[in-house]
Amino acid sequence: MSHRTKDEVTDVAARNLYNRYADAKGLSQAKYEDVYGLISRVGFATVKARRVIDAAAIIMDRYSGKVPDTVEELTVIPGVGRKTANVVLADALGKPAIAVDTHVHRISNRIGWSNTKNPDETEQELIKIIPVEYWLGFNPVLVEFGKKICKPIGPRCGECSINAYCSYYRETSKNPDKGTTKKAKKNSGK
Ligand code: SF4
């Protein structure tokens, strides 16, 4: 539900669903209007209300009410891409996985850990170089870092504690104009 939605709004909507429906069975039998009413403030709520009911129904029908624990099975569920699947694996099931959202994608490309066009490609590069014991906490750390320091526009490189290791910083400090070039805009993750 977080797509195109502020974290605070997503949190309230998720809490509303958890409070109303105890499990996948309850949600799979929910009325569309009721679910829509609980999540109406998230972006594209009309589509997402239908999707969460359908997702719950798939989990009931195919997996006997137990959330599957592989990316392959999770991404069969409509609306679930690799990022969401990896969030479920890492945050809900405690399995090592790197969820790559726009923050992780942008920061990885700026630093030089990857040189990729989309988050799925970035994930493939990161799993080659990040030791598996760091996968679980990787997304939350980079998301916070991306909100506070390595912002999409106007990264705070001067106060960044890892700027000595960052390709973007090396390039832009040699040539300050590069911070506004096409490449810099590409690296904003937008
Ligand atoms: S130096 Fe700048 S671009 Fe590099 S990681 Fe830090 S904030 Fe981001």
3-state SS, one letter per residue, for 92-149: HCCCCCCCCCHHHHHHHHHHCCCCCCCHHHHHHHHHHHCCHHHHHHHHHHHHHHHHHC
State the total domains in the chain.
Answer: 2
Question: What CATH number did the domain enclosing 150 receive?
Answer: 1.10.1670.10
Looking at the chain, the whole-number percentage of residues with pLDDT higher than 90 is 86
| 92, 110, 136 - which closes a domain | 92
At 176, the pLDDT band (50, 70, 90 cuts) reads low
Query: pLDDT tens-digit profile of 160-170?
Result: 999 999 999 99
36 and 88 assigned to the same domain: yes
Question: Residue 185 phi/psi, 5° resolution?
Answer: -65, -40
Is the shortest distance between the CB of 138 and ligand 1 below 6 Å?
no
> Is pLDDT of 156 > 90?
yes
Identify the pLDDT of residue 177: 65
Q: Which residue of 108, 109, 110 sits with most ligand 1 atoms within 8 Å of its CB, as the best mutation to test the pocket?
A: 110
68 and 136 assigned to the same domain: no
Distance 119 CA to ligand 1 centre (A): 18
**Residue 1 located in a structural domain:** no
| 92, 124, 153 - which closes a domain | 92
Report the alpha-carbon angle 155-167-4, nearest 5. Answer: 45
Report the alpha-carbon angle 87-89-92, nearest 5. Answer: 80
| 36, 57, 92 - which closes a domain | 92
> Is pLDDT of 179 > 70?
no
Distance, CA of 182 to chain centre: 25
Range of the domain at 167: 102-186
Identify the pLDDT of residue 182: 47
Report the alpha-carbon angle 128-155-131, nearest 5. Answer: 20
The answer to whether residue 101 is catalytic is yes
Distance 156 CA to ligand 1 centre (A): 7
84 and 123 assigned to the same domain: no
**Residue 97 located in a structural domain:** no
Distance 152 CA to ligand 1 centre (A): 10
Query: pLDDT tens-digit profile of 29-66?
Result: 999 999 999 999 999 999 999 999 999 999 999 999 99
Is the shortest distance between the CB of 150 and ligand 1 below 6 Å?
yes
